[in-house]
Each structure stands twice: as C-alpha cells, then as structure tokens.
Amino acid sequence: MSQQTLIHLEDVKKVFSTDEMETHALAGIHLEIQRGEYISISGPSGCGKSTLLAILGLLDSPSNGNYLLNGTRVENIKMSERARIRNREIGFIFQAFNLIGDLNVYENVELPLTYRGMPGSERKKCVHEALERVGMSHRVKHYPSQLSGGQQQRVAVARALAGKPSILLADEPTGNLDSINGEAVMNLLSELHGEGATICMVTHDPRYAARAERSVTLFDGRIVEEKIAASA
C-alpha cells in the first residue's frame, strides 16, 4: 500500500443472514483508492454497489476482511468512533439530496460542522466558502422546498464539501435530476476533482461512469472489470 493510498479494502465480504438463507452481497472485494483519484462504481441492480458504498462510508461493517482509511483499520471500531471519523473524513452526496426541510440552505450545510463542535466563526467561513463554490451563496435563506432539484443537489454537495473531507462518496448523484441538471452536477464533480478532491461515485449511467479516471464494475458482489480512462 503506497503512502498516497486513501482507502484500502482487502478481501472484504458482506453476508446478510436470515433464518431461511444467506445473501452474499460482497464476495471478496480488493480495492484501493488513491488520494486525489476519481473512481466510479457501476453494475446491475443488486450487484453490491450500495453495500460497498455503505462500507466505504462507515455506515455498515464488512462481515470479513480489512478496511484501512488513511492507514487506520476501521472495520471493527466502536460506533461512536465511526461517527467521529465519518463526520471528519467523509462527505456524502445522496441521490435523494437528504436535506432537512425545516432548515434553510445555510443551516443544512452548517449542521454537520455543528456536530463536529467547530467554533461559530469557523463554521460561518466554511459554509460560505462551500456555498460559493457550488454557486448557491445567493440562496442561503431559502428552504429546500423553494429550490429546484438541481439546486438542492448543489446544496447537498456544499454540505459534503464544507467539512473538507478526505473523500466524497456520491451515491447516484444525478438519479433524481433531469439531464441538464445532471450534467451540471457532473461538471461540478469534475471541477472539484480537478482541484484535488478524491471522489468515489456509484452510478448506473455509463456516460457518467466514463467521466471518472477509473471505472470499477461489480457483478454478483465481485469486481469483474476495471478500466482506466484514456485521458487519465
């Protein structure tokens, strides 16, 4: 594992068990993501994409295998420590935006920083910088219901960026958007990557998967193909 390796998965497996059967969602994943890399994960429905992203984001734990984030093993740490690392190291961008309807744009972006215990003056600076970066600084007092889908996703990107995470995890970030807004969000992710952001994106759209430096294809819980973009 090189010094630039941000994420290292070794033989990661995930089994969901019921009284009747076992479902092997992930079956021996080996994956490294380098700092500053832009990677896409694709594959058919039920292939394990969401499970893999949940493990990468410390929202779930593997049944077996090792996960190193920034050189630290994280697969079996306590829930409180997982939450702390998640808050500081990982920015999430969801298909459904996951903004809080009772909070305005500024408050939605600020909330994770509040949980971190960041001082108010520093929070204000981070929030304004993030909203400026995604072109939403003029909407700070608007509520999610007053925004278009594309604008809501831009706010969600700002929320993910505000804490300066080690990696952005994007789960079908264009899934609820029309083609114009989807293209705008993808352009934004490309710009962020160009500025040094590390991005791991799950997508079903081959056009968007091709935007990444490296494309990983899953099938039945296994990595069956990896492609390096011609321009990478």
For residue 57, the one-letter residue type is G
Note the pLDDT of residue 13: 96
**Rounded alpha-carbon distances, angstroms, from residue 37 to 100, 201, 209:** 30, 11, 14
Instruction: Tell me the two tokens of residue 78.
Output: 């306590």
Closest CA to 75 of 12, 168, 166: 12
How would residue 39 be classed by pLDDT, with cut points 50, 70 and 90? Answer: very high
Contact 157, 134 (CB under 8 A): yes
Q: List, for residues 168-193, the tens digit of each pLDDT value.
A: 999 999 999 999 999 999 999 999 99
Residue tagged 């079908």 (tokens):
172
How would residue 36 be classed by pLDDT, with cut points 50, 70 and 90? Answer: very high
Domain boundaries, the chain: 38-54+79-228
* Average per-residue pLDDT for the chain: 93
Note the pLDDT of residue 229: 80
Q: List, for residues 121-142, the tens digit of each pLDDT value.
A: 999 999 999 999 999 999 999 9
Instruction: Tell me the two tokens of residue 166.
Output: 């080690």
Residue 232 pLDDT > 60, yes or no?
Answer: no
Residue 231 pLDDT > 90, yes or no?
Answer: no
Contact 172, 204 (CB under 8 A): yes
Question: How far is Cα 22 from Cα 37, in angstroms, rounded to an integer?
Answer: 34
Residue tagged 């984001």 (tokens):
57
Domain 38-54+79-228 sits in CATH at 3.40.50.300
Length of the chain, please? Answer: 232
Question: How far is Cα 97 from Cα 179, in angstroms, rounded to an integer?
Answer: 16
Residue 1 pLDDT > 80, yes or no?
Answer: no
Q: How many CB atoms lie within 10 A of CB 195?
A: 9
Closest CA to 160 of 116, 124, 119, 112: 112
